[in-house]
Amino acid sequence: MGGSIRADIKPGFTVMIVLKKDQKTNRLTQGIVKDILTKSPTHPHGIKVRLESGEVGRVKEILG
């Protein structure tokens, strides 16, 4: 499942995100959602989240 709809993402979900530094290479980082940072209901590049590890990026895939 993609990560462009805010309602699909909840704290505690495991997701794959692209960090700001990895946007050129599209390298994915896996983690657990701590906070949802995007306020709008959708975003074409993915909803921005903070992981429990403290990393911030845009959701590309929701694992569960």
3-class secondary structure per residue, the chain: CCCCEHHHCCCCCEEEEEEHHHCCCCCEEEEEEEEECCCCCECCCCCEEEECCCCEEEEEEECC
**pLDDT > 70: what percent of the chain?**
100
Q: What is the mean pLDDT of residues 13-25?
A: 95
pLDDT at 46: 95
- As its CATH architecture, domain 6-62 has Roll (2.30)
Q: Residue 64 above 90 pLDDT?
A: no
The overall average pLDDT reported for the chain is 96
pLDDT in tens, 39-60: 999 999 999 999 999 999 999 9
Q: Residue 1 above 80 pLDDT?
A: no
Domain ranges across the chain? 6-62
